[in-house]
Amino acid sequence: MPIPIVLDVDTGVDDAMAILFAVRHPGIDVLGISCVAGNAPLPQVVDNTLRILDAAGAPDLPVAAGAVRPLLEPPRAARHVHGPAGLGDLVLPPARREAVSTSAVELMRRLVLEHPTPVTLVALAPQTNLALLLRTYPEVAGNLERIVFMGGSASVGNATAVAEFNMWHDPEAAAIVLDSNVPAYMYGLDVFNRVAVDHEVAVALEHGDDPLGRVVGSLLGHRVALSEDERAEYTGLIGDAGAVCSLVDPLALRTEVRPVRVELAGYGRGQTLVDLRRLSRGESMVQAHPDEWTRVEVALEVDGERLARLFLDTLGLA
Ligand code: RIB
Ligand code: CA
Choice among 8-17, 91-100, 218-227 with the minimum mean pLDDT: 218-227
pLDDT at site 277: 86
pLDDT at site 80: 72
How far is ligand 1, taken at its centre, from the CA of residue 165, in Å? 6
Best residue for ligand 1 mutational test, from 15, 155, 219 (most atoms within 8 Å of Cβ): 15
Model's pTM, two decimal places?
0.95
Q: What is the mean pLDDT of residues 188-206?
A: 97
Give tens-digit pLDDT for 127-170.
999 999 999 999 999 999 999 999 999 999 999 999 999 999 99
Judged against a pLDDT cut of 80, whether residue 296 lies above it is answered with yes
In the chain, beta strands by DSSP E: 3-9, 28-35, 63-65, 119-123, 144-150, 184-187, 224-225, 232-233, 253-262, 272-274, 294-302
Give tens-digit pLDDT for 263-284.
999 999 999 999 998 776 665 5
Domain ranges of the chain: 3-314
In short, whether 15's Cβ falls inside 6 Å of ligand 1 is yes
Judged against a pLDDT cut of 70, whether residue 290 lies above it is answered with no
Using alpha carbons only, give the angle 287, 293, 297 rounded to the nearest 5 degrees: 110
Judged against a pLDDT cut of 60, whether residue 217 lies above it is answered with yes
How far is ligand 2, taken at its centre, from the CA of residue 78, in Å? 10
- What is the greatest pairwise CA distance in the chain? 63
> What is the overall mean pLDDT for the chain?
93
Judged against a pLDDT cut of 80, whether residue 195 lies above it is answered with yes
Architecture of domain 3-314: Alpha-Beta Complex (3.90)
In short, whether 206's Cβ falls inside 6 Å of ligand 1 is no
> For residues 96 and 107, what is the distance between their CA atoms, to the nearest angstrom?
21
pLDDT at site 119: 98
Output the residue whose Cα is nearest ligand 1's atom 1. Answer: 165
Q: What is the mean pLDDT of residues 209-238?
A: 83
